[in-house]
Chains A and B, each alone.
Chain A
């Protein structure tokens, strides 16, 4: 078995090599294709993402109709989110290093209705792939002018908009030489608590997609691709920033919409 060890694990780090993970990803993907049953959400039990092994429920989720509080979402307002919090390039008294970008899109519910005046939170690594988080040990510099977190409220059409810098890819210890594709973490609320979503937005054409077990934990290729933003030259601003568009669709509301939910349709 010594040979197996040297081919499967890096001798220096003792971590499994990329081909071991690739093979598992391929196998799962093939089984999914053959099964022919569409899965829109990631597998919670996705062995190539090693941290999922002990952190996924093994029993079926309990089917239940949402009740009471679950049919509503918390409300956020100007008291919670300042106007400037959507610009991640002005938070630390100087220009962060990196390619300035604008990221915008709409948050809609499962029926395509805008989610209005609701909280969107983002967080990300800096241009060098380093998080401000204390436990991020990636030997890449912190940027004194970049924290990498932002918030905004959607407008009456469900639109959000952030100005930031393009995050870098970063290494992690899922396996030897594991690198995450560049991404921005998104946290979104709907009109019902049942619509609560935390996800990640990616950038088009990233060469790390095929190698990344977190991206691949969504086994449906089209569902994965929906997490990739679109470069939009109409959003790109002359001499200032390139633009990316990414829309977020939540699950359907379970609450019978009230008249007041539509009142702004007329405005």
Chain B
């Protein structure tokens, strides 16, 4: 094998305001049908540095199944109602709210991986929505106020996880060493 120079990663750009017609689709936020056994709602509000809702954000959810296993099955765009693929999308509404219907990942995988895109956000952000009461090395490293931003809270509908892009209670966003 001949040595080739390491290619340089392509820069990101904002998703812009007009992504809905392309990136959202029927059933995008329903990883399982509403009311399916074991289904739970993961939802929240995306807010900006002024505390205002962000009505043109897109959240992607990527998660393990109920046994904690990573799923490698097609069908996230063309859902058949039976196959759990672990991936979904939810665009925020006029009040900045997103909502997924999904399963709680198994014990081996205590968090939902989340990517955040928005108009005004030049490059995607990663975060984790941990299950209530979760603990791991990352959470332990954070001071309590920062840690709280990564913990979903149980409510009557399921789990609440708000995303604050800036300011008071700013969500902890992650750098996997690639930024």
- Give A contacts to B, CB under 8 Å: 40-44, 46, 49, 51-59, 61-66, 68-81, 108, 110-112, 119, 121-123, 125, 131-133, 135-136, 147-149, 151, 185, 187, 193-200, 214-215, 217-218, 223-224, 226-227, 247-252, 254
Contact = CB atoms under 8 A, between A and B. Distances in A.
A61 B75 contact: no
A195 B124 CA distance: 10
A132 B23 contact: no
B179 to A, nearest CB: 6
B20 to A, nearest CB: 6
Contacts of A197: 10, 12, 124
Most chain A CB atoms below 10 A, which of B70, B86, B120? B120
B75 A200 contact: no
Interface of B: 4, 6-23, 48-50, 52, 54, 60, 62-64, 70, 72-78, 80, 85-87, 105, 108-109, 111, 113, 115, 117-126, 138, 141-142, 146, 165-167, 170-179
Given A110-B6, A185-B19, A249-B7, A75 B178 contact: no
Nearest to B122: A42
A50 B124 CA distance: 17
Given A63-B175, A248-B10, A54 B64 contact: no
Given A57-B173, A69-B64, A194-B178, A199 B13 contact: yes
A223 B11 contact: yes
Contacts of B178: 110, 194-195, 251-252
A145 to B, nearest CB: 15
A75 B72 contact: yes
A55 B165 contact: yes
Contacts of A151: 77
B6 A62 contact: no
Contacts of A248: 10
